[in-house]
Structure formats: C-alpha cells, structure tokens
Amino acid sequence: MNAVNIWMIASKQEGFLFPKLDDKVESWLFDNWGSPLAEQWSCANLKFLSDDGREIPDFYFIGGFIPVVSESALSAIDLDHADVELLPAQDDCGKKFYILNPLSCEDSALNLKKSKVQYTSDGTISWISDFVFSYCPQKRMFRLSEMPTKMFVDDKFVQLIREKNMTGIDFIPCKVTGPSLFERLFHLSCLLFVPFVAIALSGCTSKPPVIPENVAPIESVEPVDGKVGIQGVERAEDFNYRSENSAMQEPMADENAQIGEALKKAYSKQDSLKQ
C-alpha cells in the first residue's frame, strides 16, 4: 500500500442485512450529512429489512453512501484524530451502532483534468467515475466538494479494516499524480525569487544619521547679533567627516554627508542675509 495513499470507500453488502432509519430522520440526514449534526442529534432507531439468517456486517451504508459502523468495529479503528462525528443509533434489540458523519471536505485536492468527469449542459458536475488527485490530504477520512456522496480514507484506515477482516466495506485505490509541471516550476521560482526580494528589501532599510561624538547636536537656527548662526557647530567647512580616532580612517556613512549638506544650506542662508 506504499504506492497508494488515497482510497475510495465502497459498500460490499451482498449477503448481509440492510438497515433503515425512520423516513423523516433518513431524509433529514440525507439533506444535512457532512454538516455538524451532533448537537441536534438524538439516538436514532435502526430497523433491518429482514431477518432471514443473514449476518449484520461491521459496516453498511444508508442510502448507499452514509456509513454505519457497529460499536465493536468502531473500537477497532482509529478515528480519534479524524474530523468525523459519531452519531449514535441502535436496533430493536438495543445493539449500538454509529453513523459516521465526516466534516472534512476537500475542494482543491481533485485533479479535474485527469479525472473522468461527466458534466451537465450547464457545466455542473454530474458524475465522476475515476478519481485522480493532485496531492494527498493529510486526513484520516474526508469527502470532496465535487462529489460529496463519496468518502475517501488514508492507508492507515484501510490497513486497520483489513487486519480485522471487517465485513461490508471495500476500498478502491485512487491515483495521485502530484503537482503538474507548471505548478512545480511556479513553486521552484517562488523558492528562488523570495530570498532575492528579502535581500533587496533589507538593503532599502534606512538607518538614522550618526553624528560623531565630537560634534554637538543641532539645537536651532536663530539670529545672533543680527546674524544667522547654528548653535553647536562653527562652520560647515569645519565639519570633519572622518573620525579622528579611527585606526582605519574610514569615511563616515552617507547619512553623515546629509548632515553636512543641511549645514551648508543653513550657512548659505546666513550668507544671503549678510548681503
């Protein structure tokens, strides 16, 4: 089973008894199956259509698609982590059963181009006879939005059923093609493109200007004795763009040059006032 990861559930009812719900309950269940029902549900009564010596299977299906499992069979399969409601029911003898109501519905896993799909004249899907998946949903049990009356399970579920030799249920393997060539190329391009974008964006991050310690901060521009002066700095020409104590004598960052430009503009305004 390593090569196949998705299986479609199929009923195998030949030679077994069939259950039936009350007509109103059954009709309501058909209309709402797949939606959360536990809070509205009360234990339903199951009636078997005959009692001619045939066995009651571990699994059977109401209406051909809603699975019912016996209490003993339920204890043998692992549904603890599956998104499935267990709706209680019992027969006339008080034997307990559970109707499985899968809440998980996939809407993008099916590959419609490779599956065998029949459409109506208005483009609505009427039937799918061969299911081909683009990927394997990491779900124990799920349905498809394209064909909600079909149920699908993973390898683990199939393994548990077959190990216990449970009756009334069968499985049809489905193909999983994986992503298309276009999807793979798109994914690869994203993996290659994102790091370059991150690098480019990191280079655009601006840092606040760094003022050397030996230069007092600019406090204001105001007239002093009729002249415009800048407190804290003598002249822009005297502004030293290199750290006198730096062993490497590296130029200061461009941000410091911006400070110098601002000082030059201020002194230019001072010179114009003199004139």
Please check whether residue 1 is in contact with residue 154, taking contact to mean a CB–CB distance below 8 angstroms. Answer: no
> What per-residue confidence (pLDDT) applies to 111?
95
Say how many C-beta atoms besides its own lie within 10 A of residue 266's C-beta.
16
Per-residue pLDDT of the chain (275 residues; tens, 9 = 90+): 455 689 999 998 888 877 789 999 999 999 999 999 999 999 999 987 666 667 888 998 998 899 999 998 898 887 766 789 999 999 988 899 999 999 999 999 999 999 999 999 999 999 999 999 999 998 889 999 999 999 999 999 999 999 999 999 999 999 998 665 665 676 567 667 666 656 666 665 555 555 555 555 555 445 555 554 444 444 444 444 444 444 444 444 555 566 666 656 665 655 555 55
Max Cα distance, the chain (Å): 120
Place of tokens 């993973």: 154
Instruction: Please state whether beta strands 141-144 and 105-106 pair in parallel, antiparallel, or not at all (unpaired).
Output: parallel
> What per-residue confidence (pLDDT) applies to 207?
56
State whether the Cα torsion 158-160-161-165 is positive or negative: positive
Long-range CB contacts for residues 147-154, cutoff 8 Å, separation at least 24: 148/34, 148/105, 149/65, 150/8, 150/9, 150/65, 151/8, 151/9, 151/65, 151/67, 151/102, 152/6, 152/7, 152/8, 152/9, 153/6, 153/7, 153/9, 154/5, 154/6, 154/7
> What per-residue confidence (pLDDT) applies to 211?
56
Helices (H), the chain: 23-32, 71-74, 155-163, 181-203, 254-274
> What per-residue confidence (pLDDT) applies to 16?
84
> What per-residue confidence (pLDDT) applies to 232?
47
State whether the Cα torsion 233-239-244-245 is positive or negative: positive
> What per-residue confidence (pLDDT) applies to 112?
94
Question: What are 89's strand-pairing partners?
Answer: 44, 97
